């Protein structure tokens, strides 16, 4: 039988959900000292007949798996060694232990799944921020991408409705910056607009006379800059 190799995320999820304590001695357990014990010994994977007897003895479901959160608990290596490969008698106390681990297993599994999901999300965000920092993609690229997908990182539906009269046709409100300006995009371009009924005159383009949207000093509406360069 090849012993199961635990990944770090499994160890962490089990350790965290058992209050960072050894299951057997109840003493505090550091994450770097965690070993995972099988309540029903892993050796039974080589003895199907004995395993079936144990499942019947402990009233375990047919779907019970030796290598699953329903059978894993965190402990010190010394406590793990002391327990060894023994199968405990089916006493009421031990049946309560089994039942407690079974009840907690769904919570541990859910925590582990969320942990893996967060790791994947953080990795993607990290790569995105790195590409933004390196200039591989621009802020505008990111905003345009958001308008082309059903998913929006921010939900501005309510605010977009509030400023509906101020947003040009065909444009979507993507963000509101720290100064209260609206960041809008139309799938091809993005820019800033004032979110006030009577914007300051400095917002008006000297060429098309619209109040943006502006991308830096360039009016996205007409494509010209506020100050023409020779």
CB-based contact 29:76 (threshold 8 Å): yes
Instruction: Give pLDDT tens digits for 108-165.
Output: 999 999 988 888 888 888 888 888 888 888 877 777 666 655 444 455 556 667 788 8
Tokens, residue 170 = 């065909």
Q: What is the pLDDT of residue 112?
A: 92
Q: Say whether pLDDT at 94 is over 50.
A: yes
**39: which residues sit within 8 A by CB, 6+ positions away?**
71, 72, 73, 97, 98, 101
- Over residues 95-112, the pLDDT tens digits come to 888 889 999 999 999 999
What is the rounded average pLDDT of the residues 178-197? 85
Domain boundaries, the chain: 8-132, 140-219
Task: Quote the CA–CA distance of 61 and 48 in Å, as a whole number.
Answer: 15
Tell me what the mean pLDDT of segment 160-172 comes to.
Answer: 82
Mean model confidence pLDDT for the chain: 85
- Burial of 22 per CB tally in 10 Å (0-12, 13-18, 19+): buried
Mean pLDDT of 166-182: 83
Greatest mean pLDDT among 16-20, 60-64, 192-196 lies in: 16-20
% pLDDT > 90, the chain: 31
**Confidence at residue 200, expressed as pLDDT on a 0 to 100 scale:** 86
């Amino acid at each position: 039988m090849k012993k199961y190799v635990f990944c770090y995320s499994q160890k962490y999820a089990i350790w965290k959900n058992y209050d960072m304590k050894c299951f057997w001695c109840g003493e505090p357990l550091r994450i770097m000292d965690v070993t995972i014990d099988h309540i029903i010994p892993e050796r039974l994977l080589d003895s199907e007949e004995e395993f079936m007897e144990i499942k019947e003895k402990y009233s375990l479901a047919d779907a019970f798996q030796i290598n699953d959160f329903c059978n894993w608990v965190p402990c010190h290596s010394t406590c793990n060694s002391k327990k060894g490969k023994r199968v405990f008698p089916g006493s009421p106390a031990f049946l309560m232990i089994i039942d407690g681990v079974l009840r907690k297993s769904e919570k541990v599994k859910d925590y582990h799944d969320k942990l893996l999901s967060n790791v994947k999300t953080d990795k993607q965000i990290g790569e995105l921020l790195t590409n933004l920092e390196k200039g591989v993609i621009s802020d505008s690229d990111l905003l345009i991408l958001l308008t082309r997908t059903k998913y929006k990182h921010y939900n501005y539906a309510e605010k977009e409705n509030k400023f509906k009269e101020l947003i040009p046709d065909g444009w979507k409100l993507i963000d509101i910056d720290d100064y209260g300006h609206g960041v809008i995009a139309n799938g091809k371009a993005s820019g800033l607009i004032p979110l006030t009924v009577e914007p300051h005159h400095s917002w008006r383009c000297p060429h098309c006379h619209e109040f943006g949207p502006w991308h830096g000093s360039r009016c996205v509406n007409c494509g010209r800059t506020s100050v023409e360069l020779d």
